[in-house]
Structure 1
Amino acid sequence: MDPKNQRESFGSRLGFILVSAGCAIGIGNVWRFPTVTGQYGGGIFVLFYLLFLVLMGLPVLTMELAVGRAGRGAARSAYKALEPGGSKWHIHGWFCMVGCVLLMMYYTTVSGWMVDYFFRFLTGSFDGLTSEQAAGVFGEMLSNPVEMVFWMVVITLAGFVVCGRGLQGGLEKVGKWMMSALLVLILVLVVHSFTLSGAGEGLAFYLLPDWSRATGQGLGSVITAAMNQSFFTLSLGIGAIEIFGSYMDRRFTLPGEAARICVLDTIVAVCAGLIIFPACFSFGISPDAGPSLIFITLPNVFTNMAGGRLWGALFFLFMTFASFSTVIAVFENIIACARENFGWDRRRACLVGAAALVVLGLPCALGYNVWSGIQPLGAGSTVLDFEDFLVSNVLLPGGSLVYLLFCVTKWGWGFDKYTAECNTGSGPKMPQWVKPYFKYVLPVLIAVILVQGLL
């Protein structure tokens, strides 16, 4: 029997929103958003980010959800159900599956770092370490192939075990619990950060508009950075969100549901900065970009903080939930693609998927040690850098452009059918007056991101 004839669905609206937000909320929210906000003028960057989230991220999010809900399948199946006869839009469905697999080839390794650090703080491994020793732990972890592979395998197997229990019994149940716990953890960590001595200075640096910092970077750079962040934060373009549209009912309009996902995603991103900046300013440590912020700067902060073992453990538990919620959401898309494209049942898709991703995750996990000589983007680069470049700079913007053109052009599904699906149900509607913007302006903005990423 065609798997689509027995399509699963979410048990509740809350389940859909929390699982979809969990897919969007990831480690990039925590180590990228606060850094670029501080770098590009604080509140000025936040205002531009929110503007572009509404102008770019939200529309493409509704498009992925609309294709999924109307097509009732993973990307390839949904395209085939909706595309005009003789067209080949469904080919993009294969790229979506490849994109999800490629994303998980390195994301499971990075998620493993979070679990590793959680247990290190929980067991007191950082107790009594000097700043240099605490900073050196990250390098020691990366250079240990057994440790790197072990945590990657744990994350991969755990993810497929959750997804193997079905949509409602596995993904929705665990996703709701993890996202609820994540939001509670954020609240606890933010309140604690507000009690630190440098809280006021850190919050001012983070959120107050600073034109000198913004103009120092160049206003064009601020706008471009905000455009990039608002777009990439939702993980659009590879069908990771689209699959959850296929599990939705039609009681509520898509602009309202998409807005709720964006709000949750933004709350987590902003709160990450509320946790990080007061802590860094309290202990005189400059917040750096990328992984060094999470794995070198913050452990130094926690080791110098009263009760640092507890706060470090709670922070990396929060990071574990943020990353693992993305893992199980993307795994669900991979499983759905395998079931629909190859006719497998869920159990077989999980077994094959787990085995494949353990093997495919090895180049990233070993790229910092045994295979460190492989430097695909030039001296000093890693396998992770290359895999991330392909996903972030090629597949996400390129895929989003395909979804957009499919939804608004006469050669695809078409604007009228897209908006009809968008506006089915109760809630905010997608207005007709956005059609010229969607057809002629938004494709150019996404193309600019694509070209910029490639250059």
Structure 2
Amino acid sequence: MEREKFSSRLGFILISAGCAIGLGNVWRFPYITGKYGGAAFVLVYLVFLLILGLPIMVMEFSVGRASQKSAALSFNILEPKGAKWHLYRYGAMAGNYLLMMFYTTVGGWMFSYVCKMFLGEFSGLDAAGVETAFYDMLAQPGPMIGWMLVVTFLGFGICSLGLQKGVERITKAMMVCLLLLMLVLAVRSVTLPGAVEGLKFYLVPDFHDLAYDTDGRFILGAAIYDAMSQAFFTLSLGIGALAIFGSYIGKERSLTGEAISISVLDTFVALVAGLIIFPSCFAFGVNPGQGVGLIFVTLPNVFNQMPLGGVWGGLFFLFMSFAALSTIIAVFENIVAFAMDLGWSRKKAIVVNGIALILLSLPCVLGFNVWSGFSTPVGNIQDLEDFIVSNNLLPLGSLVYLLFCTSRRGWGWKQFLAEADAGEGLKFPKWSRAYVTYVLPFIVLVIFAMGYYQKFFQ
């Protein structure tokens, strides 16, 4: 059976960016930027995005395009005879399933908040009332399961239409809407009375705030680690989530230039999310570094104080829903491709995986209510699923791709470089061989080890 292809280069860039653009950009990035003093942290993050995320992204795309398969079979095709690299396919496949086991739940929260905002359910509530409304939502398994089902059916429904007519066409439209929504919200935010202080915080670097917190404690090491991990995790590297899209494109364009375009779009969304959030928070005297509660507790309070706040809040959560759904569609397509590479039809892959992911997503939903008494060393069920993916499968999977593309016992540097540089456009720098072979794997191992240190020893 002939491999499906994207109909256009723009489709490849927008869908790959859609996979990378997710809640990490528009949720985690703003609150850790707020935590570490704003603009100076953004500069450090951008440096790490360039030297950490970009090379691994090119490697994932190269493995996908050279093999013309998903991670389920790509290593089998490219590895030397007798090698065992293909065993990592189980890690890659597990990473995609585990990511969706909690991402569908959080995506459901976003869709739920779109309705709550437009219906005015937060109007008249004080800060404590908004917080109570969030935890009341988590405590109700019925509506939570309902929204998770909406997200799952929507994602697999789009995948069922095929690569070009479903995934590509709808993701392109959704990404355009996402970008337009962001620009409208950013203009509204920066024109609020008092927004100038938020813009200064976000755009004017203060390296003292990067090194010391408000209590005078030295935090530079933690800030550098969080900048590294954000640059690394924002692109969903290491589980083959991007490699699949490499398998859907031809050799007309070199992969380094394409990876840069995707990284620029991913970064643009993260930076504009900050332009929406920081001026709004400063305009209404709200702390922007309030962790995960920033989106669901802090910002509804901000919208409550705005004229037409329900409309602006509804548009904001619509944009958040598009960001979440773009990732869900991309990863669902990867999961479907696993099954299709193993000989299933698209229809069978969607039906079986749809049922499986609905069942696999239930523990995360129930972990906030019916099974709330169940805890693990890293927190609730969602925390455990996130820890397995973010702190283990993403860094270790990225290490596998790095070693596979640079080692004589793997695919090898020459084959990787030939694939990455095929076509017109920017070429992968040959002088970086020592860096990506020795230095970058060491940095990935440091990120992996620091993830455990922060979880268990701080």
| Matched-pair identity in % | 54
Matched, 1:337 2:338: yes
Matched, 1:417 2:415: yes
Whether the 8 Å contact between 2:32 and 2:289 is mirrored in structure 1 is no
Identify the range of structure 1 (214-223 vs 168-177) with the bigger mean alpha-carbon deviation.
214-223
Unaligned runs of 5+ in 2: 213-217, 454-458
Correspondences of 1:270-281 after superposition (within 5 Å) = 270-281=271-282
Matched, 1:358 2:354: no
Cα 1:127–1:218, aligned 2, differ >3 Å: closer, same or farther?
closer
Q: What does residue 298 of structure 1 align with?
A: 299
Whether the 8 Å contact between 2:33 and 2:289 is mirrored in structure 1 is no
SS of the equivalent of 2:73 reads: helix
Q: What does residue 10 of structure 1 align with?
A: 6
Whether the 8 Å contact between 1:288 and 1:297 is mirrored in structure 2 is no
Shift of 1:268: 0.6
Q: What does residue 99 of structure 1 align with?
A: 95
SS of the equivalent of 1:75 reads: coil
2:262 partner amino acid: I
1:247 partner amino acid: Y
Separation of aligned partners in 2, 1:437 and 1:120:
49
1:349 partner amino acid: A
Correspondences of 1:123-142 after superposition (within 5 Å) = 123-142=119-138
Shift of 1:132: 2.1
Identify the range of structure 1 (358-367 vs 131-140) with the bigger mean alpha-carbon deviation.
131-140
Matched, 1:223 2:221: no
Whether the 8 Å contact between 1:375 and 1:383 is mirrored in structure 2 is yes
Separation of aligned partners in 1, 2:368 and 2:224:
34
Identify the range of structure 1 (369-378 vs 385-394) with the bigger mean alpha-carbon deviation.
369-378
Correspondences of 1:77-156 after superposition (within 5 Å) = 77-156=73-152
Correspondences of 1:27-46 after superposition (within 5 Å) = 27-46=23-42
Separation of aligned partners in 1, 2:12 and 2:373:
43
Give CA-to-partner distance per residue, 1:199-228, whole Å, 9 cap, x none. Answer: 110111122111221121433222222111
Correspondences of 1:262-411 after superposition (within 5 Å) = 262-341=263-342, 343-377=343-377, 381-411=379-409
SS of the equivalent of 1:6 reads: coil
Unaligned runs of 5+ in 1: none
Q: What does residue 451 of structure 1 align with?
A: 449
Shift of 1:285: 1.1
2:241 partner amino acid: A
2:33 partner amino acid: T
Whether the 8 Å contact between 1:95 and 1:238 is mirrored in structure 2 is yes
Whether the 8 Å contact between 1:112 and 1:148 is mirrored in structure 2 is yes
Whether the 8 Å contact between 1:32 and 1:289 is mirrored in structure 2 is no
Shift of 1:32: 1.2
Give CA-to-partner distance per residue, 1:127-173, whole Å, 9 cap, x none. Answer: 22233222211001000010111101111111101001100011001
Whether the 8 Å contact between 2:56 and 2:402 is mirrored in structure 1 is yes
Shift of 1:58: 0.2
Separation of aligned partners in 1, 2:219 and 2:203:
18
Separation of aligned partners in 2, 1:44 and 1:130:
33
Identify the range of structure 1 (127-136 vs 358-367) with the bigger mean alpha-carbon deviation.
127-136
Shift of 1:367: 0.6
Whether the 8 Å contact between 1:135 and 1:300 is mirrored in structure 2 is no
Shift of 1:28: 1.3
1:267 partner amino acid: F
Separation of aligned partners in 2, 1:288 and 1:435:
39
Whether the 8 Å contact between 1:39 and 1:213 is mirrored in structure 2 is no
Q: What does residue 23 of structure 1 align with?
A: 19
Whether the 8 Å contact between 1:31 and 1:289 is mirrored in structure 2 is no
Aligned-residue Cα RMSD (Å) equals 1.1
Separation of aligned partners in 2, 1:369 and 1:86:
49
2:230 partner amino acid: Q
Please, what TM-score do these two structures have when normalized by structure 1?
0.97
Separation of aligned partners in 2, 1:130 and 1:441:
51
Shift of 1:43: 2.2
SS of the equivalent of 1:369 reads: coil
Cα 1:442–1:147, aligned 2, differ >3 Å: closer, same or farther?
same
Shift of 1:283: 0.9
Correspondences of 1:118-267 after superposition (within 5 Å) = 118-216=114-212, 217-267=218-268
Give CA-to-partner distance per residue, 1:324-356, whole Å, 9 cap, x none. Answer: 000000000000001213x21000000001100
Whether the 8 Å contact between 1:76 and 1:91 is mirrored in structure 2 is no
Identify the range of structure 1 (235-244 vs 202-211) with the bigger mean alpha-carbon deviation.
202-211
Give CA-to-partner distance per residue, 1:290-347, whole Å, 9 cap, x none. Answer: 3300000000111111110110000000000000000000000000001213x21000
Shift of 1:76: 2.8
Identify the range of structure 1 (106-115 vs 124-133) with the bigger mean alpha-carbon deviation.
124-133
Identify the range of structure 1 (389-398 vs 71-80) with the bigger mean alpha-carbon deviation.
71-80
Please, what TM-score do these two structures have when normalized by structure 2?
0.96
Whether the 8 Å contact between 2:195 and 2:283 is mirrored in structure 1 is yes
Shift of 1:266: 0.3
Separation of aligned partners in 2, 1:280 and 1:431:
42
Separation of aligned partners in 2, 1:70 and 1:215:
44
- Which aligned segments of 4 or more residues in structure 1 are displaced greater than 4 angstroms? none
Whether the 8 Å contact between 1:394 and 1:454 is mirrored in structure 2 is no
Whether the 8 Å contact between 1:377 and 1:385 is mirrored in structure 2 is no
Candidates 54, 64, 68, aligned match of 1:68: 64
